[in-house]
């Protein structure tokens, strides 16, 4: 609370919010959630392809983050630290569900429905729909690699999957996305 008295939550930098939250300031943590929820939920929605489940997992990840905030060594490490919690939460949920890593074969186009020829020139794919057609493992690896900018070895460390498997999922997932886009 002493730290809280020194900061204005709305104007505080993320580092200050994290330090205050580490001192068990719930309001500071609430502000942190408010600022990071868009990124966290988008990340989990891409991994899950189910918005409601993704939001539940995002909530679970934030609550775990609150419980473990004292383990965070520096505020600057928060994004990577939280991403790891989110991925672990996702993987645990998949294990609980005994997820079948099924291939999804859907030939409908994945280009944005409102895309025009002009927009197509600066091509932009309907990412959510395209990712939804990948298997869980491919979606996870493609999201972490292309979306979060993690290297293969970082994905290995985060997910516990073998390096060859990660490379294969990224390659196949990317190739599938390319084929789906070309088919569109």
Task: Give me the phi and psi of 12, to 5 degrees please.
Answer: -70, 150
Q: Name the residue nearer to another protein (CB basis): 67 or 106.
A: 67
Q: Shortest approach of another protein to residue 98 CB, angstroms? A: 26
Four-residue CA torsion sign, 93, 97, 103, 104: negative
- 3-state helix, strand, coil split of the chain in percent (to 5) is 70, 0, 25
Crossing angle, helix 14-22 and helix 26-48, to 10 degrees?
110
List residues binding another protein (CB under 8 A): 24, 26-27, 29-30, 33-34, 37-39, 41-42, 45-46, 51, 55, 58-59, 62-63, 66-67, 123-125, 127-128, 142-143, 146-147, 149, 174, 177-178, 181
User: Nearest-CA neighbor of 112 among 102, 104, 100, 124?
Assistant: 124
Q: Name the residue nearer to another protein (CB basis): 160 or 179.
A: 179
Crossing angle, helix 51-68 and helix 26-48, to 10 degrees?
140
Q: Name the residue nearer to another protein (CB basis): 70 or 163.
A: 70
Q: Shortest approach of another protein to residue 174 CB, angstroms? A: 7
Q: Shortest approach of another protein to residue 11 CB, angstroms? A: 17
Q: Shortest approach of another protein to residue 99 CB, angstroms? A: 23
């Amino acid at each position: 609370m002493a730290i809280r008295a020194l900061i204005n939550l709305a104007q505080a930098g993320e580092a200050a919010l994290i330090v205050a939250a580490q001192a068990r300031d719930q309001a500071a943590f609430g502000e942190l959630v408010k600022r990071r929820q868009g990124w966290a939920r988008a990340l989990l929605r891409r991994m899950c392809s189910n918005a409601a489940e993704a939001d539940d997992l995002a909530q679970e990840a934030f609550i775990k983050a609150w419980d473990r905030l004292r383990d965070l060594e520096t505020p600057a490490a928060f994004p990577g630290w939280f991403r790891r919690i989110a991925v672990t939460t996702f993987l645990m949920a998949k294990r609980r569900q005994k997820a079948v890593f099924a291939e999804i074969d859907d030939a409908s186009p994945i280009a944005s429905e409102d895309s025009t020829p002009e927009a197509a020139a600066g091509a932009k794919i309907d990412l959510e729909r395209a990712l939804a057609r990948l298997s869980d493992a491919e979606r996870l690896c493609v999201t972490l690699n292309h979306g979060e900018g993690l290297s293969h070895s970082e994905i290995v460390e985060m997910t516990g999957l073998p390096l060859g498997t990660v490379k294969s999922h990224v390659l196949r997932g990317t190739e599938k996305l390319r084929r789906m886009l070309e088919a569109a």
